Structure formats: structure tokens, C-alpha cells
Structure 1
Amino acid sequence: MAQKKAGEVEAFLSRPDTSFPVVLLYGPDPGLVSERAQKLAALSGVDPSDPFASVTLSADELEKDIGRLFDEAGTVSMFGGRRLVRVRGAGNGKALADAVADLAQKPPQGATIVIEAGDLKKNAALRQQAERGRATMALPCYQDEGRALDRMIDEELEKAGLGIERAARDLLRSRLGADRLASRGEVQKLCLYASGKAGITEEDVSAIVGDVSAETVDEAVDAAASGEVKRLPELIERLTSSGTATFQLHQALLRYFQQLLAMRQEVERGGAVPTAVVERRRPHFRRRAAMEAALVAWEEEAIAAVLTRLERDILDSRRHAALSVTIMHRSLMEIGVQAARARTRRR
């Protein structure tokens, strides 16, 4: 059976087997699923920013037109090389599960298909087809625990050329682990803060992990996601004047919309009540109203499109550092305007 245990996934990703051109990643941590999907995309050798070689599709769209998946997988890249097809927001859709079964029997030539799904049960059709197929691989993704969390910390410290005191590591670990992307973002922020020092201390962790500037970041994210456009100029000014790194805000937006996607799936696919879905997430009381407004305003397909756009903006910010503030400003304002229009239509 083509599947790995949770503890075997990292080893597989370090030495991916190309005999499995269709890979399903699933689990309750959307940040971890997304991060591993990005790693697979990078290992495919395809530039995700190249529209002629890479495409991202919504699972909901494919349920309406599954033929597009086969069309995209069979399309020859304009400039040669492999083609990358990413599918986001997969769940219990029958059409996609059937398509995976077909692709397992007749693997796409010269294409890598990466499917991102939520926490699929053992009897979920999509998971079963991926586990049974001879050309498909199912990779479970679960939250960071123990050695996995330490390994992620060590990876970022090694990149930054930094050491860390034992007490500082213990404190850092206590504040991480709920979401892989969120955890990695916090460690990256800490490494940036400690750049040039001999090593990271407890004082560094206390000063930057959970920094008070995060409150302004949260306010900006909430305002954009809920369509409070009038508040955004002031919040953006506070962020830029305080020297908040643009990647910190972009990562916060990415994590928020990943969480919003999972919540929206509960509403659209499971028939859950928005207020109840938000309550189960237990957000800070100051953020609850904005989260409820965002959950009602955004549809699943639109959220998936925002996630794709944010990944592109993050890449653009890294490539063009001088324009990172402008890109951040554009991200917030355009998301805010889109949310405001969505709220207006629903009234």
C-alpha cells in the first residue's frame, strides 16, 4: 500500500520517490499540510511562479469539472520539463477520489500532482484511493511534537548560524507547536531578531516570541479579512513605523486564511453554524466578532484564491525586497476590499 506513517513523512520528503507522481497530504494541521506541499512542489523541479508549468486548482471547482484535472495533468509545459498541479481544499468529494483512482492506474507522464486535504478518516474515499494506488502516495501530516519540533527549530537555527541556550530552547518550545507554519514563522522571527549575536537567550525569546507588535498584526489581519477597509491605512502605518517585518504580516495572513478555509469547509460541507465553528476555535474575545464576520463573508473558493495570491505575494516580497512594504500594503487593501464587497452582497 502506498502510504507512510506520520513519523516517516519527513524522511520521504528528504528523498522523494518519483514513482509516485500523485501525492496526497492530509491532516488536521493545515499549516503543516501546506508547508509539506510547498516542499514537494519545490522538489518537483517546477517553478511554482511559472504559469506555463504550474497551476493551482480548488477541489470544489474540480467536483464541478473533474475533466480539468486530467487536462492540466496531460498538458505539456510550453518550455519543456515537468508540470506541477496543486489541488487545495480536498475533502470527501467523490469526483476527485475517482480521479485519483484513475490516475493511479494511468499515471500522468511528466507531471506531479500534489493534493492538500483536511483530516481524512480511514474510510474517506480520497485517502483510500491514494493508499491503494500503485502510482499514488498518501502522507499523513500531524502537529509538531517532541523531536519533530526540535528538528524544525534546529533547521532554522542552522540556516541563521545561531546557537541557543538550553533554558531558551525550553521556553521557545513551550510557545510553539499548534501550527507548523506559525511555529516556523516564530522561530524565523526570533533568528532575525538575534542576528549577529553569539546565541539566543531566554531574554531574546521573551522579547520577540509573542511580541506586542503581534497585536497590531492581528488587528490588521482581522480588519482585512472582515472588510474593515477604513481601519487599514492607520494599521499599516503603525506596522511600517514600528519596523514590523513584512514577512511577519504575510505569514499571519497566510495562517489566518488557512484556518478560515478549514472553518469554512465545516460550514459549507458539514452544515455547521458559523458562530459555533468560531466558538470551537476559542479565539481571543477581541477577535471573535471579526472572525465571525470573515467566516460568513468568505466562500471556500474565494479563500483558496486568496491563499494562492498570498503565496505569490510572499515570493514577490522575497524577490523584490525594496518593494516588500508596497506589496504588503496591496495585499491588505485588496483583501479588505474583497471582504467588504462580499459582506455587502450577503446583506
Structure 2
Amino acid sequence: MKATANQLRQALDSANPAIRFYLLHGPDESGARDLALRLARAMGTDAERVDLDGASLKADPGRLAAEAASLSLFGGARHIRVTALGEESLDAVAMLLSAARAGNPVVAIAPTLKTAGKVVKLALAADNALSFACYPPEAADADRLAAAIASEHGLRTTGGTASRLFAASGGDRAVLTREIEKLALYLDAAPERPATLDDAAIDAVGADLGEAEMALAIEAAIGGDAARLGSELARLNEAGVSMVPLVRGLVRRLMTLSELQAEVAAGASIASVIEGPRVFFKEKAATGRALRHWTPQRLSGAIDHLRQAERGMMGAATAGSIIAEAACLAVARAGRSAR
């Protein structure tokens, strides 16, 4: 069945026993992963999670249905998460949906599946499945999305706080949710005890400190100067600066480059696009050089790599600063290769 956003959230949050398969397809992989976490929370902290991927299901199509019907090792709740599911998993999904029983729900993250694909059509036609297309939120939906997630955590946005949260997350739904969770904890907010989220709270605990302090490191990364970037990272580390705003600032600069690159590809000159309001006057020369060397493919790959790094930093017991530094250095190497 095709699900609306509200229907999907309600089903995931209740672990609806009538639904054995949740298909989250489309290009917003971050949003899909964040939705999948809702099922994990609904199953409980002690629930067993089985992780599979599309490649393993292609080799053994019957495994998905078998895992869905199996009892937990300790007799508790159990659910299955499938990542990178593609058309090669059609047989596995068909066997799951037609199985005599499947007590453990399955959530599948499928960023490459198309709406007209066979797996999506199979899920749409099944009464025991929900299919939802995940797309990156448009700018017009940004405030509404941030406000809705904040409301789920007991926070009422005010003024421009919703826009600020969305901008700070770089449009990444998973990062946005983690930031809101942190703010709710800071304000001791919950659905049963709502609190007002204002700029003061974001200033106090928000990770977005702005790009000013990070400008030299960002310029070195985009310019492909790994040695200078290493020095700047050491300086920031000594000053105790969080690596989260650096990663976010670098993503924003790369996204701006990507937008400018599209204008150049459409026929505009580099000289004309860097004169616009999106380029700070001190960064015009560096931006012009970057536009000559970075390709759209490299920009897209660098942005994806940084966003994955930030999501990795948000987890518990991770080597946060090391993950961020490695990701920034990878961008610098890509920038050097682009020259």
C-alpha cells in the first residue's frame, strides 16, 4: 500500500502488526534511515535487530522471509533492517510478503529504487506492506519539517528558529532530528511537557557556530591543500572547537559551488556567477578557481561523503573528531585531484 507521511509514522511508531514490510525508497537516504529508527524505538531498547543488505538477499532470497519468521535468540522482540535494497531483491520481497507467517517486521532502505520499479509496485499492491517515497525536503517545506520534528519532541519553534535549525543541518533530516533531540534534552522538553525553542537555546547548545572561524580550513579543503588543511585542523583542535560546524560549513560551500556550477553549465560565465550575492567578496577568487576545477560529480560525491561523516559523528561512542578530520582531508584530496 502507498502510505502518506502521517500514515507511515503512525505505523512505524506503533509497530503495526498488520504491516510486515516497510519500503522506504527514493533519493533521501538520510530521511529513510531516520524513519527506520522509529520502528527500532517502537520495538524497544532490548529488541534484537537483524541487519541485511540487497546483495545478501540476491544471493539468498529466502533468508528475508526466514528471518522475519524466526524467534529472537532470547525470546524478545525482533525486527529486520535491510539497507541498499534494489531490484535484485524482488524475489526476497515477494517471498516475505507471501509467507504464511512473519512475526518480525522488516524495514528496507532503498535509495536507488524507482517508483515504476518492480519492487515498489509489489509493495504498493500488498496489503501487508507500506511503501513511501523519500525525497529531500524542498526549501518551501523546510520550516514545516523542522517545526513538525520539533513538535514531536515537545518543542514549539518561534520566530526563525525552524529555519535556523534546517539551515544548520544542511537539509539532512537525520542530523536535524539529532539536533532537535539535543535541544529537547537541554530544555527538558517532551510531548507531555512542551517548551518553547528560542534562539538563546540554539546559541547555547547548537553545533552551528558559523563559518567565520572555519574559513581557512574550508578554503584549504576546497582548494585541495591537504597540508594547510592539516595545520588548520590542528589549530581548531587545540582551540577546542567542535568539528561539527566545520563539516557543515564545508557542505554549505560545496553546495553553493554546485549551484554555481549548474549556472555555468547553463551558459553563464564564471566571472558573472561569482559576482552574485551568494559569494562573499573575500572568497570570489577562490570560488572562481574551484569552479574551474571541481566537476559536478566530484562535488556531489564530496557532499555525500561529508554528510555520511556527520551522521557517523552523531552516534554514541564514535571517534567524532577523527571522523570529521578524515572526511575533510578526503575532500582536500578530491580537490587536489580536480586540479
The normalised TM-score by structure 2 is 0.60
Give the superposed CA RMSD.
5.5
CA contact (8 A) 2:50 2:80 kept: yes
Q: Distance in 2 between matches of 1:241 and 1:291?
A: 34
Larger RCO (CA under 8 A, 6+ residues apart): 1
Aligned residue identity for 2:8: V
Q: CA deviation at 1:99?
A: 1.6
Does 2:134 match 1:136? Answer: no
Q: CA deviation at 1:155?
A: 3.4
Q: Distance in 2 between matches of 1:120 and 1:107?
A: 26
Superposition pairs for residues 1-347 of structure 1, below 5 Å? 2-45=1-44, 47=46, 53-70=48-65, 72-73=67-68, 76-90=71-85, 93-106=86-99, 109-118=102-111, 120-142=113-135, 143=137, 144=141, 147-156=144-153, 158=155, 166-169=158-161, 172=164, 175=167, 178-187=171-180, 200-202=197-199, 210-212=208-210, 216=214, 231=229, 235=233, 238-239=236-237, 241-244=239-242, 248=244, 289=294, 314-317=314-317, 327-332=319-324
Larger mean Cα displacement after TM superposition, 145-154 or 211-220:
211-220
CA contact (8 A) 1:217 1:249 kept: no
Q: Distance in 1 between matches of 2:232 and 2:118?
A: 48
Partner SS, residue 23 of structure 2: strand
CA contact (8 A) 1:55 1:86 kept: yes
Q: Distance in 2 between matches of 1:292 and 1:239?
A: 31
Aligned residue identity for 1:77: S
Q: CA deviation at 1:40?
A: 1.2
Give structure 1 stretches of 5+ with no counterpart: 257-274, 318-323, 343-347
Q: From the superposition, tell whether residues 194 and 75 of structure 1 become closer, same or farther in structure 2 (CA, over 3 Å).
A: closer
Q: From the superposition, tell whether residues 293 and 332 of structure 1 become closer, same or farther in structure 2 (CA, over 3 Å).
A: same
Q: CA deviation at 1:84?
A: 2.6
Q: CA deviation at 1:106?
A: 0.3
Provide Cα deviations, 1:79-115, integer angstroms capped at 9, x if missing partner: 222333211223xx33312221221010653422110
Q: From the superposition, tell whether residues 26 and 54 of structure 1 become closer, same or farther in structure 2 (CA, over 3 Å).
A: same
Q: CA deviation at 1:210?
A: 4.6
CA contact (8 A) 1:217 1:239 kept: no
Query: How many residues of Structure 1 are paired with residues of Structure 2 in the alignment?
Result: 298
Q: Distance in 2 between matches of 1:116 and 1:132?
A: 18
Partner SS, residue 127 of structure 1: helix
Give structure 2 stretches of 5+ with no counterpart: 190-194, 252-256, 265-277, 280-286, 335-339
CA contact (8 A) 1:27 1:118 kept: yes
Q: From the superposition, tell whether residues 14 and 87 of structure 1 become closer, same or farther in structure 2 (CA, over 3 Å).
A: closer
Q: CA deviation at 1:292?
A: 5.2
Larger Rg: 2
Aligned residue identity for 1:16: A
